[in-house]
Each structure stands twice: as C-alpha cells, then as structure tokens.
Amino acid sequence: MKGKIKMENKDKMCVHIEERREFLKSAGALLGAGLAFTSFSSLLCSCENDQYIFNPPPPPTSIDIDLSKYPNLGADGGAVIDNFSYTVEGKTYTLRLAIARKSSTEYIIVAANCTHQGVPLNLGEPLVCPLHSAKFNLAKDPPGKVAETAGQKVTDLKTYESKVKGGTLIIYV
C-alpha cells in the first residue's frame, strides 16, 4: 500500500540501513586513514625541500691543499678565502672556506658563507657579510663564532679539523 511500509520490507530496510551505517563507518575510517596519509605525505613532501634529509652531505672525506699555492698562508697570521672542490663517489662538491694560519702546523678553517642567507663572506678578522653586515670570528677565539649579528638571525660558522703533512694542508670535511 502506498505510504505504508510492509513489516517484511521494513525489516529489509533496517538491514539496508545497518549495512549503510557499517559502510559509512568503514568509509569514515578509510577517509581518516587517507587524511592521515595525506598529512604524512605532505610532511614527506615538505621534507623533500630539506637538503639535510633528502640530499645528505657527502661522506666524510678530506681536501688536500698545496700550501705553496697560497703565499698568504706563508706566515703566521696570514689568511685566505677560496672555493675548494673535492670529489666523492664521482660527485664533485665545492666548499667556500676561510683559512687562517696560526703557526706552521696549526690552521683555523671555517665555512665562509653567511649563516643567514648563504652570502659569501669577505675575508678579514672578523669575516664580514657584505649583505647585512653580520660578523664572524676567523682566527679569534672561538673561531667561527658570531661576533656581531647586525640584527640578523645568524648562527656560528662551521669549523673544520685539519693537519699539515709536508707542504699539504689536509682539511677534514
């Protein structure tokens, strides 16, 4: 009869409603999982921009520098700044380093790019950023330490261990 539901049909409808409820619950769970996955993937995507996670630095190695090519390092107190390339597993990397001679066997080596925006620093004591004027210790203790922030968000420069062997300065990077 039109407008009324027979008892038998009503039971069938209840079964359908139950099934639909279960379906919605599963769909909700899947949707939740999907959203969680999406958030996780976007997290991964955002990490893709992070070179330290997805483009890890090359394995530790060393750069050998022929000291005779740097006359400025011929006397204590001398300093240079230059780009140094080295190859690991077929890939070439370049580091801009500031090197200061303390003695014939002791050298200070610091990364020579500003920790604010990566701008190459100018040689001096301190090293000076030409863009916003932050300053960093070179040979002055502690090497690489921020000497003046100039109001910028800067951190200390990375420093490197080294040793002298014959006329070669070996820098561990």
Give the number of residues in contact with ligand FES, rule: CB under 6 A. 11
Comparing CB distances to ligand FES, the nearer of 80 and 131 is 131
User: Which residues in the 112-141 window bind ligand FES by CB under 6 A?
Assistant: 114, 116-117, 119, 129, 131-132, 134
Maximum Cα–Cα distance across the chain: 109
CB 153 to ligand FES: min, Å: 8
Q: Does 152 bind ligand FES (CB under 6 A)?
A: yes
Comparing CB distances to ligand FES, the nearer of 95 and 154 is 154
- Given the structure tokens 């080596």, which residue do they identify? 109
Q: What angle do CA 144, 100, 146 make, to 5 degrees?
A: 15
Q: Does 97 bind ligand FES (CB under 6 A)?
A: no
Residues that bind ligand FES (CB under 6 A): 114, 116-117, 119, 129, 131-132, 134, 150, 152, 154
